[in-house]
Amino acid sequence: MMASVACIGECMVELRQAQGAGQSAGQSAGQGGGLYSRGLGGDTLNTAVYLARLDVKVDYLTALGDDALSDEMIAAWNAEGVGTRRVARLPGKLPGLYMIQTDAKGERQFFHWRDSAAARQLMSLPETDELLNSLMSYDVVYLSAITLSIYDAPGRERLFAAIKRARLLGTRFVFDTNFRARGWPDRDVAREVFAAAFAAADIVLTSTEDLLALYPGESHEQLMARIPTPELVFRLAEPVSLLRFPGGTSEVRAEPMTKPVVDTTAAGDSFAAAYIAARLGGSEPVEAAQAGHRLASLVICYPGAIIPGYAMPPKKRHRPASSRQATK
């Protein structure tokens, strides 16, 4: 039976400043301006899309409104092969919105409008119990720190309790530490939630960028020691991952880049997808990390989070493995 993954999170409407967009008449240099293109964006959604492209059966668990933009999201996910049967539709609600503004040097600045987004209510709906009970039917549950930041404390407790129940039946929990300070009331709350996620996870995907923002000044060894999970992938600032897994440790370096870096958006999201897909396919952690680096190195050569389908790397056959045992 094909292994399956539940990705939990939020997808938002994205407004991206068009490349080369100039200022309209009457605007000063300080006012910005220009044209914006509309798309969709979300860290766990990006991972879900890449998982589907890697032939992993994946469902996206979130809440949307009953508006035309939400309809567009559902259609786009279905077109990518991402399952939408676990998407709650809330009458009168809308998805969140964020805008990316780019300065003359190519530096990006993000602006968010998401306080009343439908996805924030996912843990407090009449259908929440049914959705959470469904986690037991998946081989892997994947979510990020951004996912956890959109729920309130009772919602997070409800989600963790469901994940613990699912793990008793063999579901693996993969936690990605994608940390964005603006999503948390303060860093103390974030540290508490991270500690709970670390304690519950089977696999943690993290980076120096994420952890040093929460634990400044600590060494790689100190940061890794904070995470008790049996399988850990720790990405450094350079394209290197430090791995810890039952029976050993390893350092995995990405192959040298042969093309210029265009946009680092979704580098971590695509790494996560390739890593999970490889582990579900029977690969050992080192081989899975190599797959993660390969896909991430390709993704950053294209603008935007999702690269064209034709640009995906050739699919590799993994060793056959029992779906419930593949990531253990």
Residues labelled catalytic? 269
Contact 79/86 with Cβ under 8 angstroms? no
- What is the three-class DSSP state of 279? helix
> Distance between CA atoms of 149 and 132, rounded to whole angstroms?
18
- What is the three-class DSSP state of 292? helix
What are the backbone angles phi and psi of residue 99, rounded to the nearest 5°?
-125, 135
CA-only gyration radius of the chain, Å: 19
141 dihedral zone (left: phi>0; alpha: psi -120 to 50; beta): beta
Q: Which of 190, 193, 184, 232 is nearest to 214 (CA)?
A: 190
- What is the three-class DSSP state of 216? coil
CA 91, chain centre distance (Å): 26
Q: Which of 242, 170, 181 is nearest to 206 (CA)?
A: 242
> Distance between CA atoms of 211 and 179, rounded to whole angstroms?
8
